[in-house]
């Protein structure tokens, strides 16, 4: 899977979780860029991403992601 494909799929996940079809993410996207992205939605996001790519993040990764780019790096290693 290429980075572009991962970003395309991530867009779908973000759009579902935040119920907003306008959302498009890139490597620099952080929780500050998306209004409803708080700590409780973060877990939904993590679970939805795990389900979408059939992977598991470990606890340390979940708390240390600084932006979407870091998530994508981990996804790339696992898929």
Partner 1 sequence: MKEFEYPFDAEYLLSKKKRLKRELLAASEQFLEIKAAILGGSTTSDIKQLLELFLLHHGIKPTFFESEYNRFYEDAVFGNPELDELGPDLVFIHTSWRNIRRFPELTDSPEAVQEKLESEYQRFVSVWEALAEKYHCTIIQNNFDYPFYRLLGSKDAADIHGRVNFLTRLNLKFAEYAESHSAFLIHDLNYLSAQYGLDRWHDESAWYLYKYALAVQAIPCLANSVANIIKAVYGKNKKAFALDLDNTLWGGIVGDDGVENLSIGQETARSEAFTAFQSYLKEQQQLGILLNIDSKNEMCSALAGLGHPEGVLKQEDFIVIKANWLPKSQNLAEIAAALNIGVDSIVFVDDNPAEREIIRQSFPNVSVPDIGDEPEKFIRILDRSGYFECVGISTEDLNKQKLYQQNAKRADLLQSFTDYDEYLRSLHMTARIEGFIPLYMQRIAQLTNKSNQFNLTTKRYTQAEIEAAANDPNCVTLYGKLADKFGDNGVVSVVIGRRRGEALHLELWIMSCRVLKRDMEFAMMDALAAKCRAMGVKTVYGYYYPTAKNGMVRDFYQLQGFTKLSEDTEGNTVWQLDLEGYQNKNRFISVED
CB 43, min distance to partner 1, A: 5
Residue 8, token pair as written in the block: 């395309």
Q: What DSSP designation does 54 have?
A: T
CB 63, min distance to partner 1, A: 7
| C-alpha 40, offset from chain centre | 14
Whole-angstrom distance between the N-terminal and C-terminal Cα of the chain? 7
Residue in the block written with tokens 């877990």: 43
Q: Render 18-32 in DSSP notation, one character per residue.
A: TT-TT----TT--GG
Between 21 and 33, CB nearer to partner 1? 21
CB 47, min distance to partner 1, A: 5
Between 30 and 46, CB nearer to partner 1? 46
Give the residues lining the site for partner 1 (CB under 8 A).
13, 16-19, 39-40, 43-44, 47-48, 51, 58-59, 62-63
Between 12 and 28, CB nearer to partner 1? 12
């Amino acid at each position: 899977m290429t980075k572009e494909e991962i970003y395309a799929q991530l867009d779908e996940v973000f759009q579902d979780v935040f119920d907003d079809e306008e959302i498009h993410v890139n490597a620099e996207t952080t929780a500050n860029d998306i209004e409803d992205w708080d700590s409780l939605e973060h877990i939904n996001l993590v679970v939805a991403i795990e389900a979408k790519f059939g992977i598991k993040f470990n606890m340390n990764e979940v708390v240390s992601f600084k932006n979407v780019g870091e998530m994508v790096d981990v996804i790339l290693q696992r898929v």
